[in-house]
Amino acid sequence: MGGQFELKPRSCENALTYSPEDIYTVVGDVAKTVFTEKQISEGQRGLFVAPWIENIESPRQIYPALGLVQQLQSSAAERQILFSAASRAIDRNFKDDRSFTYAWDAITARTGKLVDGEGDPLKSELKTAFRGMLLKNLHGTRCTDNEIKKDGPLPDYVETANKLLAEKPLTIEDVSTSDVGGTAKLTHILKKSSAARQLREELIAVRDTQITDNKVVNHDVTDLAWVSRVNEFIDKALSFEGTDNETEGEMLFLKAAFVDGMISGISPGEVRKSIVRKFLRLVAGSRLQKTSFIEWRFWIANAEHDAPEYFYEIAAEFPNPNLKVMAAAKKLLEEPKKDPPKPTPTPPPKP
């Protein structure tokens, strides 16, 4: 509660970063449901939401946190609380260039919507904090792939931010990199593993893409012989243990690719549902859940993307606590929105 996630900075060697958007959506829905108009006008809802903004630890939290500010401005007290909390929270050096760069465009776009217009001290304060954040995070240690050189042009994304900072735009001297960190070290798993290349060839043969009138046509799932080949391949791919010292992360990357490649040619139905269930069973039991949660969550999100029509139904079948939280949050978000409770009228005094 209160947005205290203990999100440590990601290093430049990390290719992935956090994805905390869902919890902020839940917080926003709760805030819009449980407070009365009187409580909102008194700023009680603002005080409930403020910690989710004040406790920002990663740049990846800024965009969804600013979303709460954008949604909840029903009273002057609430607006004051949330704008001030956001201004205080973002004006700092996060020392996480990987996450900051990933979140850059979304932060700029949402800040632009919040500060649009003139003559508002709260908007001016947020705009000043936004500029301070850019100075602190653009001029400090950057990943090698994000370096801004003194003799180079002003990057397009800085030019975009300058549209919000017309009174005092950033210059190349403001944002040129003072120190360069590392970069993500990625492995081409198909080049590394001969067994993986063999499995890929098997996938292509089983998938057997059908094209009619220049359009990809899904296979007929009533063809039992083909369905049997699909199931045999999926079982083989998901049980593959590697032959070239592949890491668990590399193995999940490979298996997710095989699952993606197969179900993209299968229409929604029991065959597709069965494949997703098998993959989710593999990921739900993966040790990455404890050793590299971001990576584990990435593959869970991948399964959700592959089959959104089945994901939460299947996820509910597993005793995995993280999947249960995800399923519960999804259920909450999909429930019909209810009007805030109305205060119970006080009965007139008895004579």
The verdict on residue 10 lying in a domain is: no
- 265 and 131, same structural domain? no
- 303 and 160, same structural domain? no
pLDDT number for residue 243: 77
Structure confidence by residue, pLDDT tens digits, 70-120:
999 889 999 999 999 999 999 999 999 999 999 999 999 999 999 998 778
- 194 and 53, same structural domain? no
Phi-psi sector, 119: left (phi>0), alpha (psi -120 to 50), beta: left
- 173 and 29, same structural domain? yes
pLDDT number for residue 334: 74
The pLDDT-based confidence of 250 (bands split at 50, 70, 90) is confident
pLDDT number for residue 253: 85
The verdict on residue 7 lying in a domain is: no
pLDDT number for residue 47: 95
- 236 and 162, same structural domain? no
pLDDT number for residue 56: 94
Structure confidence by residue, pLDDT tens digits, 31-55:
999 999 999 999 999 999 999 999 9
Q: Is the pLDDT of residue 28 over 90?
A: yes
Given 180, 197, 223, which residue is the final one in a domain?
Answer: 180
- 171 and 194, same structural domain? no
The verdict on residue 12 lying in a domain is: no
- 314 and 202, same structural domain? yes
pLDDT number for residue 91: 96
pLDDT number for residue 294: 86
The verdict on residue 82 lying in a domain is: yes
| Domain around 43 | 21-180
Given 133, 150, 180, which residue is the final one in a domain?
Answer: 180
| Counted domains in the chain | 2
Structure confidence by residue, pLDDT tens digits, 180-194:
888 877 767 777 777
The verdict on residue 79 lying in a domain is: yes
- 166 and 29, same structural domain? yes
Those residues whose C-beta lies under 8 Å from the C-beta of residue 325, and which sit 6 or more positions away, are none
The verdict on residue 347 lying in a domain is: no
Given 139, 163, 180, which residue is the final one in a domain?
Answer: 180
- 163 and 296, same structural domain? no
Contact in structure between 101 and 143 (CB atoms under 8 Å): yes
**Ordered alpha helix ranges (H), 146-247:** 156-162, 172-175, 189-192, 194-207, 224-238
The verdict on residue 206 lying in a domain is: yes
Which 8-state DSSP code applies to residue 346?
Answer: P
- 284 and 244, same structural domain? yes
Kindly give the pairing relationship between strand 210-212 and strand 215-217: antiparallel
- 136 and 242, same structural domain? no
Q: Average model confidence (pLDDT) for the chain?
A: 87
pLDDT number for residue 77: 93
Q: How far apart are CA 15 and CA 13, in angstroms?
A: 6
Residue 265 or residue 129, greater confidence: 129
The verdict on residue 63 lying in a domain is: yes
- 228 and 95, same structural domain? no
Q: How far apart are CA 110 and CA 183, in angstroms?
A: 28
B/e letters for 170-199, b = 16+ CB within 10 Å, e = fewer, are beeebbbbeebbeeeeeeebeeebeebeeb
